[in-house]
A and B are shown apart, each in its own frame.
Chain A
Amino acid sequence: MPSSPAATLTVPGLEQVYDALASAIDQAGPDKTELFLVKLALLNADALADPKRFDTHIQAALRDL
């Protein structure tokens, strides 16, 4: 993953995101999981405000599927 000067998650922070995302996927249900995840990705992309960095995330997530 290309390095970035931006702050990374702390371990407790990562654990919090992990649980929250898992619970939200369950809440969305199997029919709406994809839709939910795409919405989330777009919201994160808007907060990121950096299409190039977003693309590096896409490439990283496409690896090892």
Chain B
Amino acid sequence: MHQPHAEPRRSIYYRYQVFDAWLPPPSAPLQQAGVVIAGAGPIGLVTALALAQQGVPSVVLEAERQVSEGSRAIVFTRRSMEILQQVGVAERVERNGLAWRFGNSVYRGQRVFRMEAPHSDDDRFFPMTNLQQQYLEEYLVDACRAEPLIELRWGNQVTGLTQDGQGVRIEIDTPAGPYTLAADWLVAADGARSPIRTQLGLKLEGASYEGRFVIADIRVDLPLPTERLAFFDPPWNPGNTILMHREPHGIWRLDYQLPPGETPEQALHPDSLRARIDAQLAMIGHPGIAWELDWSSVYSARALTLPDYVHGRVLFTGDAAHLLPIFGVRGANTGFQDAQALAWRLALVARGVAPAHLLASYTQERVGAAREIIDEAGKSTRFMAPPTRGFRLLRDAVLSLSLTQPFVGPLYHWRTSRPHEYTHSPLNSAGDDNALFTAGPAHGAPPCNVRLGPDQFLLDHLGHGFTLLCATAAAALPEALQAEVAAARERGLPLRVIAVGAPQPVTGADLSLADADGHLRARHGLRAGGAYLLRPDQHVCARWMTLDAHRLRAALQQAVGQAATPTTPNPGA
């Protein structure tokens, strides 16, 4: 019988709440569900919330009875904040997190590179926001508990599964014994060690690196701004790299590489931790300062992905689908994009609005993103933790040169997580005017936010379905277009129409933005009659210099995997 910890986890700053385990009714051996999500980490919970916004209920199974141990993912990118805004928790993250945009690389006491992440007046969120993962999970749990379409089952551990073409039978153990859940779909958001991945015998592809790193969270009063600090080859840990990040509640994250041959047990021994943390704090000018440990862990740098995230009725997302080095904050920030990319497709398929093969484009887009990240992260990892003598020599040469030669500085800037552009997605419209645009987000790109007022941005107004952004000065959208929009909604596609550029409300639009200064249109390269179609995950799938009803229909069909034969015109098809 599964017996998760019933005692709150220990922390010097976070109060853990232990939830009641969900127990199966004694006389119901088999239960039914539509979508089941394994794992109530940030990625599973975002998936559940995004599905609920599409009207699709889900059951979330979590083996534990409380949120995660330790701060884990602490840096959330702007794109993650935009995704969290979509699921309704960004405000709490922003209110309680620490926003930042600068990083400093230090060698021999000298700052040899300063990273400045771009931040424009059109962005609602800072490039980075630091918050401990427990808080993020708490906010997501609160949002899920307030959502009637989500059933969160604490203390429910997946122990086995079988599937056929129609669904998945999930074996689950609880403190009151096992039960079986028959689901149409199972989302595996069960983390880096994914038991479901193991159950299915799936192998990750890619590279594992030698380097192992200690993560330690300490409470210490340091008079330093919220900026990332990276120390290379410090005297107390020769050849290795130390990272420092500020977290809320007076907590600092220290992250340092283990000497070769040292075991995790040795590295996490209190004496070892104390000596190294003292040495690091002394090196930055605070010898003997008082500090207290909250949590520590060891991880290794890996860059691995499943080659396919869709296995019959089982869909992988987040760390269950890929393991990415944390340099460049790529774990959770990649996972949120997975969740967002998966949820709208799964919702349309589950509701019967789109064919099941729409899910193939999820694999295509997100495995592509993971491979790109693995390639980029490999470069960062080879600099941070050189795998061979040659790479170590080059790294050391760059460190030495950087004291006087600025041209090597950019090598210190490991590429930070950024939203993937689905440039070659099969969902992009084949017959639009993408190539004719000279400004704005192109095919597959994430949206471009625009400030509309003191506390108002374009992304605040995108719904949870498709968004048609139409530039017009007229009093009404063309009747044929309005009829096409109505027909799409009739077919079950959620579609919101935003008119841009008319001083008065536009008939046929759900929302009219005057855009008096033309800034929104300029950012998108839009003139009257032109339009953008954004998917429910806000990525661009079509844009037109002049939109007509036929091309809107074609783009919507393409975007939900129902494209007519491209060569067409075959009225009978």
Partners in one complex: yes
Q: Which segment of B121-129, B209-217, B398-406 sits at the interface?
A: B398-406
A46 touches B407 (CB 8 A): yes
Within 8 A of B (CB), among A1-51: 34-35, 38-39, 41-43, 46
Closest CB of chain A to B412's CB: distance in Å?
14
B397 touches A38 (CB 8 A): yes
Report Cα–Cα, A35/B407, bound state, in Å: 18
Closest CB of chain B to A17's CB: distance in Å?
20
B282 CB-CB contact with A under 8 Å: no
Q: Which residues of A contact B400 (CB under 8 A)?
A: 35, 39
B516 CB-CB contact with A under 8 Å: no
Closest to B411 in A: A42
Closest CB of chain B to A57's CB: distance in Å?
16
Closest CB of chain A to B392's CB: distance in Å?
10
B6 CB-CB contact with A under 8 Å: no
Report Cα–Cα, A41/B398, bound state, in Å: 11
Report Cα–Cα, A60/B393, bound state, in Å: 20
Report Cα–Cα, A49/B393, bound state, in Å: 21
Report Cα–Cα, A34/B396, bound state, in Å: 10
Report Cα–Cα, A38/B401, bound state, in Å: 10
A43 touches B401 (CB 8 A): yes
B408 CB-CB contact with A under 8 Å: yes
Report Cα–Cα, A42/B395, bound state, in Å: 11
B394 CB-CB contact with A under 8 Å: yes
Q: Which residues of A contact B394 (CB under 8 A)?
A: 38, 42
Closest CB of chain B to A50's CB: distance in Å?
14
Interface string of B235-262 (1 = CB under 8 A from A): 0000000000000000000000000000
Which one of B393, B396, B405 lies within 8 Å of A43 (CB-CB)?
B405
Within 8 A of A (CB), among B48-81: none
Report Cα–Cα, A60/B270, bound state, in Å: 52
Closest CB of chain A to B390's CB: distance in Å?
9
Report Cα–Cα, A25/B398, bound state, in Å: 18
Q: Which residues of B contact A35 (CB under 8 A)?
A: 393, 396-397, 400
Closest to B396 in A: A35
Report Cα–Cα, A46/B402, bound state, in Å: 13
Within 8 A of A (CB), among B381-428: 393-394, 396-398, 400-401, 405, 407-408
Report Cα–Cα, A34/B393, bound state, in Å: 8
Closest to B407 in A: A46
A39 touches B407 (CB 8 A): no
Closest CB of chain B to A38's CB: distance in Å?
4
Closest to A47 in B: B407
A42 touches B393 (CB 8 A): no
Closest to A34 in B: B393
Question: Which among B393, B394, B397 has the greatest number of chain A C-beta atoms within 10 A?
Answer: B397
Closest CB of chain A to B295's CB: distance in Å?
38
B393 touches A38 (CB 8 A): yes
Report Cα–Cα, A46/B398, bound state, in Å: 12
Closest CB of chain B to A30's CB: distance in Å?
15
Q: Which residues of B contact A41 (CB under 8 A)?
A: 397
Report Cα–Cα, A46/B408, bound state, in Å: 9
Closest CB of chain B to A15's CB: distance in Å?
27
Q: Which residues of B contact A46 (CB under 8 A)?
A: 405, 407
Report Cα–Cα, A38/B398, bound state, in Å: 9
Report Cα–Cα, A39/B408, bound state, in Å: 11
Q: Which residues of B contact A38 (CB under 8 A)?
A: 393-394, 396-397
Report Cα–Cα, A35/B239, bound state, in Å: 13
The chain A residues found within 8 Å of chain B, CB to CB, are: 34-35, 38-39, 41-43, 46
Q: List 22 A-B contacts (CB under 8 A).
A: A34-B393, A35-B393, A35-B396, A35-B397, A35-B400, A38-B393, A38-B394, A38-B396, A38-B397, A39-B397, A39-B400, A39-B401, A41-B397, A42-B394, A42-B397, A42-B398, A42-B401, A42-B408, A43-B401, A43-B405, A46-B405, A46-B407
The 4 closest A-B pairs by CB, nearest first: A38-B397, A39-B397, A46-B407, A38-B393
Kindly list 5 other residue pairs between chains A and B, CB separation below 8 angstroms, not including A39-B400, A43-B405.
Answer: A34-B393, A35-B396, A38-B394, A38-B397, A42-B398
